[in-house]
Amino acid sequence: MRRLIRHVAATVAVVLVSVGLVAAPAQAGPQHYGTDPYHSGCSADSFPYRTYPILNGSAVSVAQVQLWYSRICQTNWVRVTGNPAGGNTSKIIYAATGQHWTENDHGTGFSYGMQVYAPPGVCVELNATLYYPSGAWYASSNWQVAC
């Protein structure tokens, strides 16, 4: 009877994953390049690895850019805490693996970019720039390097 229950549970799990009702467990690898960390399962064990200020022209911190890391997928992505100016938020990340991602989002809320594969020991460079709705520059994190 116990074998039957295990078999039925395993069959149900396979069916749920195959029809997309449950996300399959994520695994490390370059296949995650350009994918959404929150829809791929990579965010399940993620954490902000580094946080940098985004400074306006008066050197006042107006927001933060965070470098997130997933242990499961060995990926990084950039998350910006908000854009008080309300225009575009540009996020760029380069990994020493040769992968890079640039993404622009509009509005005042937080935003994030897609992920790049960066296993332990691989450095990444990142930058976030905030703009006014007119397109004029508002603030930047300048280029940051994290290893």
Residue 67 belongs to some domain of the structure:
yes
What does the pLDDT average to over 86-113?
96
pLDDT of residue 23: 53
Percentage of the chain modeled with pLDDT above 70:
83
Q: Does position 18 have pLDDT exceeding 50, yes or no? A: no
Q: How many domains does the structure of the chain reveal?
A: 1
CATH number, domain of 81, equals 2.60.40
What does the pLDDT average to over 56-72?
98
Q: Are 51 and 64 in contact (CB under 8 A)?
A: yes
| Strand (E) or helix (H) holding 2 | helix 2-18
- Return the bridge partners of 47, or none: 69
pLDDT digits (tens, 9 = 90+) for 100-111: 999 999 999 999
Region at 96 (left for phi over 0; alpha for psi -120 to 50; beta for the rest): alpha
Q: Does position 51 have pLDDT exceeding 80, yes or no? A: yes
Residue 38 belongs to some domain of the structure:
yes
